[in-house]
Amino acid sequence: MIVPLSHERATVERLPWVTLSIIGLAVLVHLWSLGSQGAAGAEEARREAVEYLVRHPYLVPDPELVSPKEMDRAFGRERSAPAGAPVGLEQRRLDELTAAWEESRDRHPLRRGGLVPGELEAPNLVTHLFLHAGFLHLFFNLLFLYLTGPFVEEIWGPVGFAAFYLGGGVLAGGIYALQYPHLTVPLVGASGAVAAVMGAFLVFRGRLKIRFLVFLGIAVATFSAPAWLMLPLWFVFELLAALRSDVVSPDMGGEGVAYWAHVWGFTFGLVAATTSRRIFGVSSSEAPEEPDLEDEDPALAPIREDLRRGIHPRAWQQLEELLHRRPRHEPALELYWQLARRLERGREATEAGKTLARLALQRGETDRASAYLAGVDQDAEEHGTPDPEVEALRVRLAEARWREGNRDRAEEIVRELIVDGAPDRLPSGLQAKLARLAAEAKIGSASSDRMPEPPPPREESSEGGTVP
């Protein structure tokens, strides 16, 4: 058994009040459902009916009370009544107990608020997300939500995250109900919505490492693995389990676990996050991942705590002091960049973003460099003046993208630079690089009047030197 414990070196700068509110509401609803009279009455009525059936195993129970497979496993296929037994009266008594259980069951909170595919009601598409069948069911759903929800909420904001969470849960439950239209067992739990959050987390924070607790018999160990590895593995397991359950027990909805709801929720999260990223790019609240450092500077701990508590002036002063001593301290520089953008200090944000992009390019991390430059471009739009240093970094990024085989993105960067008139502002060496990239990408001649010709090759003179 593997249980996620925490993230390694991961923080959020906003209080995830929507995520915490969902967790708190789910706990309160669960406690209420446990204490309701409907829950106690339904359990007592079912126990009475099952005990009577155990004493008379030759009777025919309602499949919702005990399935035929369960009867065969418990009492075998051959179940004959003893001689002289009043089978008719006993069957009528069992039917009466079953009817009493069904009436009491219909008053149970899980039945009234759960999503019953055979009796589909629109409000239950939402209410079923806050009901759970037991403590472990509640605990694991909320644990996964706690580990992923704050990071997605930080990117989309409270309103966007709340809409996404409910939308994912409604879609997952709705498709599940359409798959099993005759199922009368209620679907309860936040699994579909939480799976959607996990899918979005994979898109936005896939490089983040997660620490796991693993139980190996009587031994216990921990290990760390990136989200991009573990979450797809989880999804594949859920998909295979869903397909298997449909083969082994068709029309049963997953043998007690709504695997398909997990699959549809996770898929919705992947699609929604990927679409959002393609349309809106990197938002102001989405920063690139933290550098994967083995040991973080202890000086950052109080700064992170101030940021978490919203004490921005003191965090700003501490970051400036730390960067004055260590200008290339990348984790501090990244925090400084994020805070400068949050405080709308454009000049400081631009300088920090350029430095971070330069460091990322030196390591060959083009995705990180692209994220930083996207933020710098967004800040620069407010001033309307092109920055030659940023344009130079974008030329280097285009060159790196071309080398790594991402030619479509490299061509896009080259086109943007040419249209913006960057060749007129670049030094001759970078002009030559840009011209070469434009030629290799076969940029159309419509922009060639603004694109300088690459300098001619040098030839060796008879004296061994070079001539232009």
Ramachandran angles phi, psi of 460, nearest 5°? -75, 135
SS3 readout for 65-88? CCCHHHHHHHHCCCCCCCCCCCHH
Instruction: Give 238-253 pLDDT, tens digit per residue.
Output: 999 999 988 887 777 7
- More reliable by pLDDT, 37 or 87: 87
Task: Return the pLDDT at 452.
Answer: 47
Q: How far is CA 321 from CA 185, 296, 297, 311, 329, in A?
A: 61, 17, 14, 16, 12
Whether the pLDDT of residue 296 is over 90: the answer is no
d(CA 124, CA 262): 18
Predicted pLDDT at 56:
86
User: Residue 266's pLDDT is what?
Assistant: 97
Assign 199 a pLDDT band (cuts: 50, 70, 90). Answer: very high
If DSSP states are collapsed to H, E and C, what string results for 233-281?
Answer: HHHHHHHHHHHHHHHHCCCCCCCCCCHHHHHHHHHHHHHHHHHHHHHHC
Q: What is the pLDDT of residues 14-54, one digit of tens each?
A: 789 999 999 999 999 999 888 765 556 677 888 888 888 88
Q: Is the pTM of this model over 0.85?
A: no
Residue 394 to residue 412: CA distance in whole angstroms? 11
Residue 334 to residue 323: CA distance in whole angstroms: 11
Q: Which residue has the higher pLDDT, 125 or 63?
A: 125
Rounded Cα distance between 72 and 66, Å, is 10
More confident residue, 451 or 130: 130
C-alpha dihedral, 14 to 18 to 20 to 25, nearest 10°: 170
Return the number of other C-beta atoms located less than 10 Å from residue 319's C-beta.
25
Confidence of residue 378 (pLDDT cuts 50, 70, 90): low
Nearest to 175 by CA among 188, 192, 190, 160: 192
User: What backbone torsions phi and psi does residue 111 show, to the nearest 5 degrees?
Assistant: -80, -40
Under a CB-based contact definition with an 8 Å cutoff, are residues 319 and 335 in contact?
Answer: yes
pLDDT at 287: 43
The amino acid present at 214, given as its one-letter code, is V
Compute the mean pLDDT over every residue in the chain, rounded to the nearest whole number: 81
Helix (H) or strand (E) holding 90: helix 87-105
Most confident of 18-22, 81-85, 133-137: 18-22
Distances (CA, A) of 366 to 200, 275, 276, 362: 22, 21, 20, 9
CA 81 to chain centre: 56
Region of 253 please: left (phi>0), alpha (psi -120 to 50) or beta: left
Count the Cβ atoms, other than its own, within 10 Å of residue 453. Answer: 10
Q: What's the start-to-end Cα distance of the chain, in Å? A: 71
8 A C-beta contact, residue 133 and residue 110: yes
Q: Where do we find the tokens 């232009």?
A: 468
The strand pairing partners of 224, in sequence order, are 211
The span from the CA of 399 to the CA of 275, in Å, is: 27
* Per-residue b or e along 62-97, where b marks 16 or more CB atoms closer than 10 Å to that residue's CB: beebbeeeebeeeeeeeeeeeeeeeeeebbeebeeb
